[in-house]
Amino acid sequence: MTHTPLWDESAVEKAVAQMTAKRPAYASILGFYGPVFIAQIKAGAHVSPAAIAVDESILKIKIKEGFSLIAPADFTIDLPAAEKLLADICSIAAVSGEKLSGAGKELALAMAERESLEDLFHDVLDNKGRLDAMAGKSNVPADMLSLLLYLSIKPSIESGSRQLAAFLEENADGHGNCPICGSAPIIGELDADGRLWVHCSLCGHRWSIERMVCLFCGNRDSASLEYLYSENEPEYRVYLCNECRHYLKVVDTRKLARVFYPPLEQVVSLHLDLMASEKGFTHVLGAGTAMA
């Protein structure tokens, strides 16, 4: 059934340690994301954003017509929880490389000077240019600022996604974009039964899709659908569509010796994004996708 998962802190922490040891090339990036994942899971256990106001009669129409339930800007944010998590993430970023360090220090300064973080948090969702203005003043790239802010509000977004998932029907699957917020999927998984699921890049919602069809353009021609696979990494596949030239990374959980945690798998498989790019394929979220 379509849903927004909850995650086990100790299992994720163990998986991060396993991947740090298994893939030393990712040790640096996991030095940042590993502690962030744990901080997010801890925050998620206590986060309490305001309930998203919805008209159930309108939701039923949207579900029937195949539309997403809300727009990203409709998510609510538990501001105190997000600010606390941002402070933790800024501390982690401060020792995690030049770009992340610069963004972390700039946002920490904004907190110290009591700037309105609420507007910055919402800019991640509604993209009204507030972050661009901050980036212009600080010489810190807007995408770095946006990343840290997004990571800080993600527990609130996932909480809202769980609230709305209760309205979806059991067969609310097969969408190309998230049935909750309309965002694109970032990664897929094959479950124990071989069923294909994808995870929303924004709210973390999980829904199932057909295996023999391109998620992005609806192409069903098997001659133009293929996937990349390596015996050295049997848990990974990269689904390719030669019609729209998009790709989707998929994790076969039947071949995992660790818990499946989508943000971790996204981060430790960036070499697959490079491989797909070199073959002329692009991720639907754009080049250089590392959002977790």
CA distance 266 to 292: 7
Position 102 scores a pLDDT of: 85
**Domain boundaries defined on the chain:** 26-165, 185-283
Within 10 Å of residue 209's Cβ, how many Cβ atoms? 18
- Specify whether the CB–CB gap between 207 and 178 falls below 8 A: yes
Please state, in angstroms and as integers, the Cα–Cα distance from residue 75 to each residue in 2, 21, 53, following that order: 19, 37, 9
Position 262 scores a pLDDT of: 97
Phi, psi of 110 (to 5 degrees): -60, -40
Please state, in angstroms and as integers, the Cα–Cα distance from residue 236 to each residue in 127, 230, 249, following that order: 33, 8, 7
CA distance 265 to 188: 10
Phi, psi of 283 (to 5 degrees): -80, 145
Position 109 scores a pLDDT of: 83
Position 173 scores a pLDDT of: 59
Q: Which helix (H) or strand (E) holds 52?
A: none
| Helices 27-44 & 79-93 angle (0-180, nearest 10) | 160
CA distance 236 to 268: 11
Return the structure tokens found at 126. 């509604």
- Structure letter (DSSP) for residue 204: -
Tell me the pTM: 0.93
Strand partners, 237: 229, 250
Exposure on the CB side of residue 169, measured as CA atoms within 13 A? 14
Position 41 scores a pLDDT of: 97
CA distance 126 to 85: 21
pLDDT digit string (tens) for the chain, length 292 residues: 567 788 999 999 999 999 999 999 999 999 999 999 999 999 999 999 999 999 999 998 998 888 999 999 999 999 999 999 999 999 999 888 777 888 888 888 888 876 778 999 999 999 888 888 888 877 788 898 999 999 999 999 999 999 999 998 765 556 789 999 999 999 999 999 999 999 999 999 999 999 899 999 999 999 999 999 888 999 999 999 999 999 999 999 999 999 999 999 999 999 999 999 999 999 998 755 555 6
Position 292 scores a pLDDT of: 65
